[in-house]
């Protein structure tokens, strides 16, 4: 048998020359500062962020500083066009649309906040525990999720709203039942994927503790998935509330939510389009901005996108 194929002499020492050792010019920086730097470069995300901040500020302060309240009727200005007094005009009872829209935005943002917290706390914990413990615990937890996913979301919400008095509390409770399921599944899948990666194995071989592996290997690498999913959950929750109120089983008059307002405007669309247009624009802005910001955040948090 000949075996001169690879001779020892072929393995000549290659001395790496100094100039071949490449230099990487960009300065190094910490994770959050780094993410912010990258987010700032993304124009669309920055614009979205500012619009959202403006909307939040308006929702908080506009009703406080207006001379009208959201339920004050004024039959002298029924369906008033936008003017100096009523910036966004008035509705069929002469109520000020400006105040009503920002009150409605408050409700939307409140629902968004609850949905986000639910996702981050229940969804992330549920998914992480399921993936980390594995075995029988994982199997049981997954069966529970399957049952929840099996029943259409809307049916649960509608049943809930029929059983309990309509109101913000009921809508939030209804969303809570299934709102976190998607996040739980995503986080579980991501952690399972990471657990078998070689760098996690490397940590195990090095003798790092489980806690260390969870904190340094698993969580930082799931942040991207978590952020992008929260940013999808939020507009979804806002839309669900608006939709329920629009079809008449969510919030009801005289309460103002964006869905209620759109419903009111829809009925008089032909004659007084401004009653529909303003709340519609606000809800579209909120949803689009959250999506754009979510995309930007995900990219910003990924060190591989670093330029």
Partner 1 sequence: MMTNQEKQILLDVKHLKKYFQVGKKQTLKAVDDVSIQIYKGETLGLVGESGCGKSTFGRTILHLYEPTEGSVTFDGITVDHSLDRKQAHELSRRMQMIFQDPYASLNPRRKIMDIVGEGMDAHGLAKNRKDKEDQVVNLLETVGLQAEHADRFPHEFSGGQRQRVGIARALAVNPDFIVCDEPISALDVSIQAQVVNLLEELQEERGLTYLFIAHDLSMVKHISDRIGVMYLGCLMELADSEELFENPMHPYTKALLSAIPIPDPEIEKSRKRIMLEGSLPSPINLKNECKFASRCPNCKESCMQRQPELKEVSPGHFVACSCIE
Binding mask 21-60 for partner 1 (x = CB under 8 A): x-xx---x--x-----------------------------
Nearer to partner 1, 8 or 84 (CB): 8
Give 8 or 76: the residue with its C-beta nearer to partner 1.
8
16 binds partner 1 (CB under 8 A): yes
Apex 74 CA angle, 167 and 100, nearest 5: 35
Closest distance to partner 1 from the beta carbon of 35 (Å): 11
- Give CA–CA dist 256/258, Å, rounded: 7
DSSP state of 85: S
Q: Select from 5, 64, 84, 155 the one that contacts partner 1 (CB under 8 A).
A: 5
Residues 303 and 307: their CA atoms lie apart, in Å, by 9
Output phi, psi for 108, to 5 deg. -60, -45
Instruction: Return the number of the residue (151 or 215) whose C-beta is nearest partner 1.
Output: 215
Both tokens of residue 184?
Answer: 């739980």
Which residue's entry shows tokens 């302060």? Answer: 61
Please check whether residue 176 is in contact with residue 148, taking contact to mean a CB–CB distance below 8 angstroms. Answer: no
Q: Considering only residues 193-232, where is the footprint of partner 1 by CB under 8 A? A: 197-199, 201-209, 212, 216-217, 220-221
What backbone torsions phi and psi does residue 30 show, to the nearest 5 degrees?
-75, 170
Taking contact as CB under 8 A, which single stretch among the options 1-9, 84-92, 115-123, 272-280 is the one that binds partner 1? 1-9
Residues in the chain, overall count:
307
- Nearest-approach distance from CB 237 to partner 1, in angstroms: 29
- By the 8 A CB rule, do 174 and 160 touch? yes
Binding residues for partner 1 (CB under 8 A):
1-6, 8, 10-14, 16, 21, 23-24, 28, 31, 197-199, 201-209, 212, 216-217, 220-221, 303-304, 306
């Amino acid at each position: 048998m000949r075996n001169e194929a690879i001779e020892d002499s072929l393995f000549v020492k290659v001395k790496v020359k100094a100039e071949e050792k490449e230099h990487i010019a960009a300065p190094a920086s910490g994770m959050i500062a780094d993410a912010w730097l990258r987010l700032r470069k993304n124009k669309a995300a920055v614009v979205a962020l500012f619009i959202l901040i403006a909307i939040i500020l308006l929702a908080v302060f506009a009703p406080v500083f207006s001379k009208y309240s959201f339920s004050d009727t004024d039959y002298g200005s029924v369906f008033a066009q936008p003017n100096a007094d009523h910036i966004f005009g008035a509705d069929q009872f002469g109520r000020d649309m400006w105040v009503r829209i920002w009150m409605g935005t408050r409700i939307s943002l409140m629902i968004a906040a609850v949905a986000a917290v639910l996702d981050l706390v229940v969804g992330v914990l549920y998914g992480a525990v399921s993936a980390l413990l594995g075995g029988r615990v994982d199997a049981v937890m997954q069966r529970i999720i399957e049952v929840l996913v099996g029943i259409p979301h809307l049916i649960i919400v509608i049943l809930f709203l029929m059983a309990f008095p309509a109101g913000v509390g009921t809508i939030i409770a209804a969303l809570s039942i299934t709102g976190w399921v998607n996040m739980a599944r995503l986080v579980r899948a991501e952690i399972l994927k990471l657990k078998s990666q070689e760098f996690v194995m490397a940590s195990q071989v090095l003798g790092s503790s489980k806690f260390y592996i969870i904190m340094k290997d698993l969580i930082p690498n799931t942040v991207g998935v978590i952020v992008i999913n929260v940013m999808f959950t939020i507009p979804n929750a806002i839309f669900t509330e608006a939709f329920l109120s629009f079809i008449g089983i969510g919030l009801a008059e005289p309460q103002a939510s964006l869905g209620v307002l759109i419903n009111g405007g829809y009925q008089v669309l032909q004659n007084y389009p401004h009653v529909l247009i303003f709340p519609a624009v606000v809800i579209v802005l909120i949803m689009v901005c959250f999506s754009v910001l979510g995309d930007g955040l995900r990219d910003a948090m990924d060190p591989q996108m670093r330029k």
